[in-house]
């Protein structure tokens, strides 16, 4: 994608991530999720396990965003298990671009995710994409904040 809001000459690429992105992903994870950040073995898993759509946003050769969708054939569901953009690169359309590209690569008929009840930025993004609340997992996150469970049915799949 091209993004007019970035500095002149910068270009955002949304491309598959690999295990080689582990160090950059660790940095992103700490910057985005602080208390909820995943340990290194979870990050390695998301970068290497089968049936995971894993995409990174790259600006000037630097990883600035990441999304992963875990396709679970047994339940016909894909879970978006993480989405994050480095703070200086937010509000430039990168989260939207990552989510759109991830959805386009998912073949199962429904996508689900969880989000902190207070995470207005993410909730707005998901609402824009047509995700709807289907449940609440009480006290799910560290600090005992509830998780809202959102779902989107994908047209033309399944
Ligand atoms: C949520 C997150 C991924 C959004 O990434 P982003 O690149 O800033 O998102 P975009 O620029 O594509 O924004 C798309 C839309 O989302 C909504 N949005 C994004 N950030 C917002 C904010 N801070 N406040 C209100 N709405 C916001 C807006 O509707 C925005 O559209 P607009 O800019 O045209 O108004 C980013 O804020 C982030 O990494 N947060 C920390 C990690 C996190 O919470 N991840 C989600 C876990 S479920």
Tens digit of pLDDT for each residue in 106-129?
999 999 999 999 999 999 999 999
pLDDT digits (tens, 9 = 90+) for 31-48: 999 889 999 999 999 999
* Any ligand 1 atom below 6 A from CB of 64: no
Structural domain containing residue 70 = 12-153
Residue 158 in domain:
no
pLDDT digits (tens, 9 = 90+) for 69-98: 999 999 999 999 999 999 999 999 999 999
pLDDT for the residue 10? 73
φ and ψ at residue 87, rounded to 5 degrees: -50, -45
Which atom of ligand 1 approaches the CA of 122 most closely? Answer: 1
Spacing, Cα 86 to ligand 1 middle (Å): 11
Spacing, Cα 9 to ligand 1 middle (Å): 23
Q: Is the pLDDT of residue 158 over 60?
A: no
Q: Is the pLDDT of residue 1 over 90?
A: no
Residue 60 in domain:
yes
Asked whether the CA dihedral 92, 49, 130, 127 is positive or negative, the reply is: negative
Q: How confident is the model at residue 155 (pLDDT cuts 50, 70, 90)?
A: confident
Which atom of ligand 1 approaches the CA of 126 most closely? Answer: 16
* 3 closest CA partner among 86, 88, 97: 97
Name the closest-CA residue to atom 8, ligand 1. Answer: 90
Residue 117 in domain:
yes
* Any ligand 1 atom below 6 A from CB of 116: no
Q: Can you give the CATH number for the domain in which 67 is found?
A: 3.40.630.30
Q: Is the pTM of this model over 0.85?
A: yes
Total domain count, the chain: 1
DSSP state of 12: E
Residue 130 in domain:
yes
Residue 4 in domain:
no
Residue 40 in domain:
yes
Residue 6 in domain:
no
């Amino acid at each position: 994608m091209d993004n007019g809001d970035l500095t002149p000459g910068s270009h955002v690429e949304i491309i598959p991530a690999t295990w080689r992105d582990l160090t950059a992903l660790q940095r992103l994870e700490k910057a985005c999720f602080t208390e909820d950040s995943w340990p290194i073995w979870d990050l390695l898993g998301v970068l290497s396990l089968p049936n995971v759509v894993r995409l990174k946003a790259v600006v000037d050769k630097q990883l600035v965003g990441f999304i992963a969708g875990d396709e679970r054939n047994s339940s016909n569901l894909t879970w978006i298990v993480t989405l994050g953009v480095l703070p200086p690169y937010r509000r430039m359309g990168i989260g939207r671009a990552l989510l759109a590209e991830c959805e386009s690569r998912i073949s199962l008929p429904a996508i689900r995710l969880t989000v902190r009840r207070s995470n207005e930025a993410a909730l707005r993004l998901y609402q824009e994409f047509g995700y709807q609340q289907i449940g609440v997992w009480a006290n799910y996150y560290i600090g005992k904040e509830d998780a809202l469970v959102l779902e989107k049915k994908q047209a033309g799949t399944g």
